[in-house]
Amino acid sequence: MGELKRIVCRSCGSEWECRTGCGLVHGKLEWIADLYGEDIRKEIKSCLKEGELIPFTFAYQLSCCKKCGRIESVPVLCLEEDGREYIGVCRQCGQKPELVEEIEKTPCPICHSPVLETEEIGHWD
């Protein structure tokens, strides 16, 4: 079960709602592949061999798109065998956003003050 979070900037009052973690539907690589664009989807699916289990970790993580000034969650998939990582793109502009490691140290994409706060507002699955 994932968490639904609200990110609030204490300086300019901007707000974003993001889901983090992963849901029940993310237990299968086939389904995760569908969250990505055509190229990555093909690549992930080409790793799938019938009857074989591929170890992976998956979660939605917070990211920040510098281009359109948005904080949103993107799918992050890591194939454990070779450490390959697939990070989703910004839904608005298609650029690769930067993953947010620590929200307290991340500048607000609108006013650039590092005063973002997170609040847990619910769960999703």
Provide the binding-site residues for Zn ion, judged by CB under 5 A: 9, 11-12, 14, 65, 67-68, 90, 92-93, 108, 110-111
Nearer to Zn ion, 84 or 112 (CB): 112
Nearer to Zn ion, 27 or 37 (CB): 37
CB of 109 to Zn ion, least distance (A): 8
Nearer to Zn ion, 12 or 54 (CB): 12
Q: Which string of DSSP letters, residue by residue, matches 93-115? A: T-PPPEEPS-GGGSPPTTT--S-
Taking each continuous run of H as one helix and of E as one strand, the counts in the chain are 2, 7
Q: Yes or no: say if 120 and 3 are a contact pair by the CB < 8 Å rule.
A: yes
* ∠ Cα 121 20 94 (to 5°): 120
CB of 72 to Zn ion, least distance (A): 8
CB of 82 to Zn ion, least distance (A): 29
